[in-house]
Amino acid sequence: MPLFAQLYNFAHWLAQNREEAEDLVQETYVKALRGFGSFQPGTNFRAWMYRILRNTFLTSRTGLKATMMVPLDESEDGPGATVAADEPTQEALLIDRDHQNLLQAAIEELPVQFREVLLLCEVEEMSYQEIADTVGVPIGTVMSRLSRARATLRANVQQKLRIP
């Protein structure tokens, strides 16, 4: 099934629950198959599928809460947690885990419209146009939301680290 892993990951980030993410992806494919006649050849299939998933999430009971946590990809480093040695020390691992938790908490506090564009851009590596197609807003709105999401995230992290 095309895009299954990416859709599942995004659904899990949104729903923060494995079973609910599975249900969201399954419902996304059902809706996509039912509505495939409305898909216009030559348009962005990936953005179309993500849009179906997003809309399904937003109309679910979980999406309306808009208080779900958004975990980071394990390959993402926490802010400033680097070690020069080949093998990280236990202390460095603990600091890195703490920074990841701090960043996760800061992302969790973002409003859904900021969180989703940030995840689609930084994690899913979608272009601004793909994000605009997925979210259903103009590309300028995507850029504005992304800028505001990054600024809010930066401020939240600085506040949590108590950086002036």
CATH number, domain with residue 132: 1.10.10.10
In a domain, 129, yes or no: yes
- Decide if pLDDT at 66 tops 70: no
Q: Is the pLDDT of residue 48 over 80?
A: yes
- Provide the residue range defining the domain that includes 140: 90-161
Instruction: Look at residue 92 in the predicted model and tell me its pLDDT.
Output: 59
**pLDDT confidence band for 142 (50 / 70 / 90):** very high
In-domain check, residue 96: yes
**Residues 8, 58 within the same domain:** yes
**Residue 106 belongs to a domain:** yes
Give the mean pLDDT of 66-75. Answer: 44
- Residue 70 falls within a domain, yes or no? no
- Least confident window among 14-18, 64-68, 129-133: 64-68
* Within a domain: 150: yes
Read off the pTM.
0.56
Long-range contacts of 145-151 (CB under 8 A, 24+ apart): 145/113, 145/114, 145/117, 146/114, 146/117, 146/118, 146/121, 148/114, 149/110, 149/114, 149/115, 149/117, 149/118, 150/118
The verdict on residue 77 lying in a domain is: no
End of a domain among 20, 50, 65? 65
CA geometry: angle 8, 12, 16, nearest 5 deg: 165
Q: How many domains does the chain have?
A: 2
pLDDT tens across 116-133, in order? 899 889 888 889 999 999
| Calpha distance 4→20 (Å, rounded) | 15
Same domain flag for 16 and 56: yes
Amino acid at 13: W
Query: Is 32 within 8 Å of 49 (Cβ atoms)?
Result: yes
Whether residues 94 and 157 fall in one domain: yes
- Choose between 94 and 150: higher pLDDT: 150
Task: Average the pLDDT over each of 8-22, 70-84, 136-150 and give the range with the smallest value.
Answer: 70-84
Is position 72 within any domain? no
* Any domain includes 35: yes
